[in-house]
Amino acid sequence: MPPESTAGPPSGRGAPGLVERLMPRDSLARRLVRRLLPAFFILVAIDLLATWFMTGVIRPQPWLLRDLFWTMMLTQGLLVALFVWVLISGIRSELASINRLADDIRQRSIEDLQPLDLAGLPGEIAPLVLHFNDLLVRLDDSVQAQRRFIGHAAHQLRTPLAGLKVESELMLGQDLPEDIRVRAGRIKSVTDHMIRMGQQLLVLARAEHAVRPRDSFVRLDLCEWMRQAGAEWLGRARERAIDLQLVAPEDPVWVDGDPVLLEELLGNLIDNALRYGLGARRIVLRVMANPPSFSVEDDGAGIRAEDLDRVFEAFYRAADAGQGGSGLGLAIVREIARAHGAWWKIASRPAFSGTRVSLVFPGPRLGACLTRAE
């Protein structure tokens, strides 16, 4: 018969001891004990030394014992107060890492879904932060999937909408009864609106994805760029009998940015001024050098005070906005400004005689992208 095998002791480390169970490694309790034990032993040693000196060396007379008793009580009180101070200092020192974590979370923008740093955190807090980081990763994946879906859906709709637009234009080019011509015109108008919305959704998806540094950033002169980009809107401004003006310094104003996104931003601001600047006779494109910034101003009826805080929301339309538009224009402006680390501000009546949207850039820092909170 084969010899029976006997089970030996389990290999590896044994079960954790009492200290490990009560105070796991890197736990807050273990750190506090490690920090406070030396101070505690020093205080006890001072107390014992003082007691021995008073009772064994000096050998006071009985009448002096009462005074020594109260002196010892005072000394004990001071030692207790000192120990409490050491205890509070130790706790505050160990909680500093948690305070740093809170500051990190508070200073983050809503687009920053990067995992939190676990370095230096107590063992009791680390699992919570670890699960929170896992939630951030899943949330970031969900946001990216949503953006990809919007971009893909808008892209897939472009081809059939373009075909529908061509068909409606061909119909309008033929000799048709008046009622059919009116319907074909409506089809073309709705198709143009849907194509424009699809383009805006694509730009919005790209701008939202551009909250991190982009390789497409180039250094450009804000004055020259504004002159070229604004010139493309002169025709539409003349059609509406609106004077489009440019006010810019003679010296270059340098910023770093994505020219395509910035042209879309400026186009949305001018388009909004043309569409909704009721009664406007002038639109001013103004460039400032210090700090590098520009604004689009009109002398129209302005925006109601209750709408000013919401006009940058996607798909929001004021009650008096009328027909046309998708409610995405200023939302795109906001996202492109964020992608460039720019501040934005809107002013209207009575603070400004019309409507003014201003953007302030962080200056020429090639490749940099500083996200700014609203």
18 within some domain = no
Residue 63 pLDDT class (50, 70, 90 cuts): low
Contact indicator for 176, 184 with CB cutoff of 8 Å: yes
327-343 pLDDT per residue, tens: 777 888 888 888 888 88
* Sheet with 355-360, edge to edge strand ranges: 243-247, 282-288, 293-298, 355-360, 343-348
Higher pLDDT, 71 or 211: 71
* 218 and 354 belong to one structural domain: yes
253 within some domain = yes
- Give every CB contact of residue 283 below 8 A, 6+ residues apart in sequence: 237, 242, 243, 244, 245, 270, 273, 274, 277, 296, 297, 298
* 97 and 224 belong to one structural domain: no
150 within some domain = no
Domain count of the fold of the chain: 2
Contact indicator for 216, 260 with CB cutoff of 8 Å: yes
CA gap 194, 29 in Å, rounded: 62
Angle of helix 259-276 relative to helix 329-339, nearest 10 degrees?
150
Amino acid at 292: P
369 within some domain = no
- Give every CB contact of residue 30 below 8 A, 6+ residues apart in sequence: 23, 24, 123
Q: Is the pLDDT of residue 321 over 70?
A: no
355 within some domain = yes
186-197 pLDDT per residue, tens: 888 878 777 776
58 within some domain = yes
Angle of helix 28-52 relative to helix 62-94, nearest 10 degrees?
160
Please tell me the least confidently modeled range out of 38-52, 63-77, 203-217, 293-307. Answer: 203-217
77-111 pLDDT per residue, tens: 777 777 777 777 767 776 777 878 888 888 876 66
Contact indicator for 370, 362 with CB cutoff of 8 Å: yes
Percent of all residues in the chain with a pLDDT value above 70, rounded to a whole number: 72
Q: Which of 42, 73, 107 is the last residue of a domain?
A: 107
* 349 and 224 belong to one structural domain: yes
95 within some domain = yes
CA gap 138, 136 in Å, rounded: 5
Taking the whole predicted model, whether its pTM rises above 0.85 is answered as no
Please tell me the least confidently modeled range out of 33-47, 296-310, 339-353. Answer: 33-47
* 98 and 222 belong to one structural domain: no
Structural domain boundaries, residue 54: 24-107
Query: Residue 350 sits in a domain of what CATH number?
Result: 3.30.565.10
Please provide the distance, in angstroms rounded to a whole number, between the alpha carbons at the two ends of the chain. 82
Residue 222 falls in which region: left (phi positive, over 0), alpha (psi -120 to 50) or beta: alpha
Residue 58 pLDDT class (50, 70, 90 cuts): low
Q: How many CA atoms, within 13 angstroms, populate the side-chain half-sphere of residue 348?
A: 17
Predicted confidence at residue 19, as pLDDT, reads: 58
* 349 and 221 belong to one structural domain: yes
Q: Which of 107, 128, 160 is the last residue of a domain?
A: 107
* 98 and 227 belong to one structural domain: no
Q: Quick one: average pLDDT of 256-285? A: 88
Predicted confidence at residue 126, as pLDDT, reads: 79
163 within some domain = no
Residue 208 burial class via C-beta count within 10 angstroms: exposed 0-12, middle 13-18, buried 19 and up: buried
Q: Which of 67, 85, 107 is the last residue of a domain?
A: 107
Predicted confidence at residue 330, as pLDDT, reads: 86
Q: Is the pLDDT of residue 59 over 70?
A: no
